[in-house]
Chain A
Amino acid sequence: MNRPRSSALLALTLVLIAVGLLVLNLAGYLGPIQSLALRPFGAVQGWIYSRVAAVRSLLTAPGDVPALREENDRLRAQVSELEQEVIALREQASEADILAALLGYARGRPENRYLAVNVIGRDVSPFIRSIWIGRGSDAGLLRGMPVVTERGLVGRLAEVHATVARVQLITDPATEVNVQLQTSRSDGALRAQVNGELWVDLIDQTAEVPPGDLVLTSGLGGAYPSEVPVGQVLTVRQRDFDLFQQAVIQPSVDFENLDIVLVITNFQPLQLTPEVP
């Protein structure tokens, strides 16, 4: 058998294996295997992501730069173990700051029970906006649970494995959130555009929507709890011939710098749309 033909046969065989796995997955047979495989993956992912987050906070904290440079000069003269120690301490301090802010948020909403979870990675597909967190069904997490930070709504759990879970962000185009505008109390539907912008659609034409108006979850539909901040109105598009007006909003959460999130564990979503992978 010549080499090109043998390569084609190998490629065909591998594609058939991949298709077989795809079919098995769609039929739901691979769930336990995926959970098992994600255990070591989640552990390594979490370890690496926490180091990346520590280095990122080291590089992006503008107020700390002069002090850090000075400290760095001193540390250069010391052994590398001490440098490692500094990075580890900064990571803990950064985590403590985040946890303190999250705790303050949780105390302000005593009706909810929260579980603080580390972010361990991002979705590798550029067309899906989701993150991986380092807890799963072993910690009592269930699909559909809302995820927040002290700044507002992050998304909800779309996939839950034993030790990790995937959070579908509200910036994912497949997500829809029922929201309410704070000033006019008008309802709307938040949808992320494929270019990453967040739009609130289906706002009543007669509603006053001032720029800067706060957008909160309405709780309608039962997928998310009510009164969770989502963002602020940037601009409004109102045309006489349209049935509804639309607003572009600035999300209150910085989705690029999520390190720790809170999962609301006592919220039971009333309905779940079928999962769109």
Chain B
Amino acid sequence: MGYLLGVPLMALLAILQSTVFGTFRLLDGAPDLVLIAVVSWGQTGRTREAMVFALLGGLFLDLLSGAPFGLTAIGLILVAFLVSRLEGRFWEANFLLPLGIMVAASVIYHADLFLATAASGRPVDLDIAITRVFLPSAVLDVLLALPAAQLALRAHEALFPPQVKVG
């Protein structure tokens, strides 16, 4: 069922990222809703679904971007895979650790976009990208990470309640 929910959810988040959240900018950075959703869902332990969400969300974002189709998806899958490697190791140790993971995820995701943009021949500058895109985006993503993680946890509990033995 999680996979089915992913299609409309990722489509909606991609559209919101292009419309509503595209106007909430800090320098050239904006909140990356799809990235936040993928990381948050991965943190609930549904890492395989998170990777499929990453592909779907990335393709939807690529539809709404001038970037080559498929490149955002690759970056998001990479992030989801890295989250899956850390599964169960840190999440319950300290509630601040997911924020650190979100910073790392945001930087990796934007580094992928930056490299893809540079490889396509567009003029880019790493120093400016770090100060105007990487850091502001990471700040905004981290601000939304905690509520998103809570929301993902609640959704996970509602959709996949833990099985208990009776008797």
Contact = CB atoms under 8 A, between A and B. Distances in A.
B129 interface: yes
B113 A127 contact: yes
A120 B59 CA distance: 19
B63 interface: yes
A124 B48 contact: no
B70 A25 contact: yes
A158 B51 contact: no
B23 A56 contact: yes
B77 A18 contact: yes
Contacts of A44: 15
Nearest to B126: A194
Contacts, number: 154
Contact of B19 (A7, A48, A194): A48
A65 B30 CA distance: 27
Interface of A: 4, 6-8, 10-11, 14-15, 17-19, 21-22, 25-26, 30, 34, 37-38, 41, 44-45, 48-49, 52, 56, 120-128, 130, 132, 158-159, 166, 168, 173-174, 194-196, 256, 276-277
Interface of B: 11, 14-20, 22-23, 28-30, 47-48, 51-52, 54-55, 58-61, 63-74, 77-78, 80-81, 84-85, 110, 113-114, 117, 120-125, 128-129, 132-133, 137
Given A8-B81, A196-B132, 18 more contacts: A4-B85, A7-B48, A11-B51, A18-B70, A18-B73, A25-B68, A30-B69, A123-B65, A124-B14, A124-B65, A125-B65, A125-B117, A126-B29, A127-B67, A132-B18, A132-B64, A158-B66, A256-B23
24 contacts: A7-B48, A7-B81, A8-B81, A10-B51, A11-B51, A11-B80, A11-B81, A18-B70, A22-B69, A22-B70, A30-B69, A52-B19, A122-B18, A124-B17, A124-B64, A125-B66, A125-B67, A125-B72, A125-B117, A127-B117, A132-B18, A174-B123, A195-B132, A276-B121
